[in-house]
Chain A
Amino acid sequence: MSSKILILGDGASGTIMANKLRFLIPREDADITVLGNSPMHYFKPDGIHIPFGLKMPRDSVKPAKMLFNYGINYVQDEAVKIDVNNRKVNGKSGKEYDYDYLIIGTGDRYTPEDIPGYAESALHFYDYNSSIKLRDALNNFKGGKIVIGPSSIPYQCPPAPYEFTFQLDQYLRNRGIRDKTEIHYTYPLNRAFTIANVSEFVEKYFEEKGIILHTLFNVESIDAKSKKVNSLEGESVDYDLLVLIPPHRGQQFITDSGLAGPSGFIDVDRYKLNYGNFDNVFALGDATNLPVSKAGATAHFQSEYLANRIAHEISGDVYFESYDGAVACTTVTGPGEAITLYFTYERPPRANFNSKMDYLLKWTSADTYFSGMVRGIM
């Protein structure tokens, strides 16, 4: 009997999962349906480079439907309700979808409305249009005070704010206005990054480049009129240009379906990725509440385990592997240099050296992603 696999979301998590499953399971053994309504699939890591003119936006997007392999039923619809007890999902179109396996890869959303003053004052580089808007703002910037930081934790791609800051420093030097610019970096913890040894590396770099660090800074509000960003901890910093990562939450329909609290992030088993007592409901990528980076690489590692597990189950085989918390990220640290961090639940990352190879890896990552990774080949 053929199994019904239903995947929610057509971003990195949903697309990689669908393609990997299709490679592993013969068509007569399983129908694979993906619900999603994204016209374009955006390679988000390029958002760090677009504001500096280092990447052309058109190279960072592909039509979403072109990325699914043959034999996948891609439906332009959006899930609005999940009923895990009755194995049903309701779509925005009014259609109802049933399943044997449900995979939730609906990512997260930005909630600027959580911070008063955000919409009128802050810029960021976390989506396609915002990166272009920030590029234009930087292009018109002649000097002053730039404040950068995540407004709160969690946020996607934890190294992105400091990687952006490294590149901003170089960009301002190239334009000859670094000496007319103060760069301030705010972070919600009492260091520059979540992981202590990476933080040491980042703080050393900030010191060398004259970047001013404000720790324990959880953004509470922004006063657009007086151009001040205020923290929950009682500190205020003035700015001329504010680059603030918006707060993140999981999707509202996940909360409304009872699968998560107000944060919208789903609690799943950290090794098996299944939700609660259901061994046929899984979540991966940014949608989960796992203590791992919200990043495409996380979804990629998780999909490797999950696709194999489901394929083995459907074929009647056994599968004893699990997801070990693997995450990898490569960040540009300077001209021609980058660093790759790799870590798992049990193994902290080591930030030992910069390398040219990592830089090349980073610079070709959109091509690698669109031609291999998202297709389920790697």
Chain B
Amino acid sequence: MENEIKPNKVVDARGSFCPGPLMEMIKAYKEAKVGDVISVYSTDSGTKKDAPAWINKSGNELIGIFDRTGYYEIMMKKVK
């Protein structure tokens, strides 16, 4: 499914420790338009828990968490 979606913004937060990736995602969210898809690349395992919690609380949509080679990608859609 993820191959069909092209993010409007990719945040490469690999190598950054918690809470860096989440804060980068929030920064990208603030700058994005409703309907935009944001992808965050992270190597910090904590982001797997923190980012979905934030996406859920803020009422946005988690498209998925995908394992990549040496990192993972969190994809979200700004719905509000």
The smallest C-beta distance from B53 to any residue of chain A, in angstroms, reads 4
Give the Cβ gap from B17 to chain A, nearest Cβ, in Å.
4
CB distance from B28 to the nearest CB of A (A): 12
A75 interfacial contact with B, CB 8 Å? no
Q: Which single residue of chain A is at the shortest CB-CB distance from B27?
A: A263
Of listed A154, A218, A234, residue having the most chain B CB within 10 A: A218
**C-alpha spacing A234/B53, complex, angstroms:** 14
A283 CB, nearest partner CB in chain B, Å: 17
Contacts known (A196-B46, A232-B58); A190 close to B53, Cβ less than 8 A: yes
* Residue count of chain A within 8 Å CB distance of chain B: 16
* Chain B residues closer than 8 Å to A232, beta-carbon distance: 26, 30, 58
Smallest CB separation, B12 vs chain A (Å): 12
What does DSSP make chain A's interface, helix, strand, loop or mixed? loop
**Alpha-carbon distance between A194 and B23 when the two chains are bound, in angstroms:** 11
Quick one: which of B28-62 are within 8 Å of A by CB? Answer: 30, 46, 49-50, 53-54, 57-59
Contact A216 B58 (CB under 8 A): yes
Q: Bound state CA distance, A233 and B30, in angstroms?
A: 11
CB distance B16 to A233 under 8 Å?
no
Inter-chain CA distance A152–B24, complex, in Å, is 12
Residue-wise, chain A 114-158 has the 8 Å CB interface mask toward B (1 for contact) of: 000000000000000000000000000000000000001110000
What is the interface size of chain B, counting residues whose CB is below 8 A from a CB of the partner?
A: 17
Write the nearest CB–CB distance from B61 to chain A, whole angstroms: 14
Does A360 lie at the interface of the complex (its beta carbon under 8 Å from any beta carbon of B)? no
What residues of A have a CB within 8 angstroms of the CB of B17 in the complex? 291, 345
Chain B residue contacts of A345, Cβ below 8 A? 17
- Cβ of B22 within 8 Å of any chain A Cβ, yes or no, is yes
Decide yes or no whether B64 CB sits under 8 A from chain A. Answer: no
Chain B residues with CB below 8 A from A291, complex form: 16-17, 20
Q: A190 and B20 in contact (CB under 8 A), knowing A196-B46, A218-B26?
A: no
Interface residues of chain B, those whose CB is within 8 Å of chain A, are: 16-20, 22-23, 26, 30, 46, 49-50, 53-54, 57-59
The 4 closest A-B pairs by CB, nearest first: A291-B17, A190-B53, A233-B58, A216-B57
Given contacts A196-B46, A232-B30, list 18 more A-B pairs with CB under 8 A: A152-B23, A153-B23, A154-B23, A188-B23, A188-B26, A189-B19, A189-B22, A190-B50, A190-B53, A190-B57, A195-B18, A216-B53, A216-B54, A218-B26, A232-B26, A233-B54, A233-B57, A345-B17
